[in-house]
Amino acid sequence: MGVLNIDLIGRIGDQLFTFEKESPKKTAITYMLVAQILFSIMYTIIGFLRTEYTTIQILYFRMLYSFIFNTSFCKGKDLDIYVPNGQALKLLILRGTLGASAMILMFASFEYMNLSDCVVVNNLSPIWTNVMAIFLLGEKFQKKALVCFGLGFSGVIFMSRPSFLFGDVSSQESKNENINQLLGSLLALLGSVSVAYMTIILKKLTTIFKCHNAVQQQYSYIITIFSTASLLLIYQQASFDILNVRFLALGLFLSFIGWIAQLLFSRSFGLEETSIIAPISYVNTFITFLVDIYIFNSHIEITSIIGSALIILGSLGVIL
């Protein structure tokens, strides 16, 4: 008996596999929709926890729990974590490093921006993926890609609200001393670049080496755990004071739904065309805006709304 019931995992997996064979398109859409709802719940929990704990502390326990869940899942599916193919192993380590970078940067951005702003900027990854594919995969350059990149970059400018364009925004941010829209946007932007590069590596691992997504995620979990543990020690944030029942219980819950969401998210792209599945991912953006407004009572700037629209248009332009 592991952390997760292995027999139960197998039965659920078999049932889902049956659904996938009978109706792949419907199943893929369902996977993506459920994943986005779960991601939104995870971000909401992070929003509550970040007032008492640092995002690095939250991320460390989130990845530690996820590692335990994923290890049980791999055991139940008889998936071997070690890959003997040298090229595949190098790509797995690179994929894990990029995944760790993306998670650390995105969680760090949560300290300086509203949840919805962080999620929107992170959604720039489709645009970066398209740009990188031109240079790394030799894909043909299209004028549409340049237009979409322009839209996305313009959206980031509206989201970050640099003072040389929008004047002094300190009075707007004084309500929350931790708010730093420019720094938060830069962190989320770098995170989206990591996600984009990771997506290209993921495609190679999935299509060429037939590497299961759970195995790929395991490398991200391991590298992120060691990275965040190092950061906790460097910034002297490692403390037994955070080990209370509320934090551990909420951390366990957000880790579990985040792990499930990631599996569903990745699997949906393997069942249906990106042009059909990817637009559903923006449900998460809409939900986090509602969470910011009605749960956290956050003030949403008009520039954030304009920036969100530009980023989503640019990303959808690449996908569709």
* Per-residue model confidence as pLDDT tens digits over 259-282: 999 888 878 877 877 777 877 888
Please report which confidence band the pLDDT of residue 184 belongs to, taking 50, 70 and 90 as the band edges: very high
- pLDDT (tens digit, 9 = 90+) per residue, 196-229? 898 888 878 887 888 888 899 999 999 999 999 9
- Residue 286 placed within a domain: yes
Q: Specify whether the CB–CB gap between 308 and 160 falls below 8 A.
A: no
Check pLDDT > 80 for residue 180. Answer: yes
Q: What is the pLDDT at residue 167?
A: 67
Check pLDDT > 80 for residue 132. Answer: yes
Label residue 236 left, alpha or beta by phi (over 0 means left) and psi (-120 to 50 means alpha). Answer: left
Q: What is the pLDDT at residue 23?
A: 87
Q: Specify whether the CB–CB gap between 189 and 124 falls below 8 A.
A: yes
The residue among 74, 105, 278, 255 whose CA lies nearest residue 183 is: 105
Please report which confidence band the pLDDT of residue 174 belongs to, taking 50, 70 and 90 as the band edges: very low
Q: What is the pLDDT at residue 255?
A: 94
Check pLDDT > 90 for residue 287. Answer: yes
Check pLDDT > 80 for residue 307. Answer: yes
State percent of the chain over pLDDT 70: 91
**CA-to-CA dists, residue 232 to 81, 83, 94, angstroms:** 27, 30, 23
The residue among 304, 21, 29, 319 whose CA lies nearest residue 173 is: 304
Higher-confidence residue: 85 or 8? Answer: 85
Check pLDDT > 60 for residue 114. Answer: yes
- Residue 142 placed within a domain: yes
Q: What predicted TM-score, i.e. pTM, was given to this entire model? A: 0.86
- Residue 11 placed within a domain: no
- Residue 19 placed within a domain: no
- pLDDT (tens digit, 9 = 90+) per residue, 22-55? 888 888 889 989 999 999 999 999 999 998 999 9
Averaged pLDDT, 68-84: 88
Q: What is the pLDDT at residue 96?
A: 94
The string over 243-253, giving b where at least 16 C-beta atoms fall within 10 Å of a residue's C-beta and e elsewhere, is: eeeebeebbbe
- Residue 4 placed within a domain: no
The C-alpha atoms of residue 80 and residue 90 are separated, in whole angstroms, by: 16
- Residue 273 placed within a domain: yes
Note the Cα 120 to chain centre separation in Å: 11
Higher-confidence residue: 101 or 175? Answer: 101
- Residue 13 placed within a domain: no
Q: How many domains does the chain have?
A: 1
Q: What is the pLDDT at residue 136?
A: 77
Write out the residue range of the structural domain in which residue 283 sits. 24-319
- Residue 18 placed within a domain: no
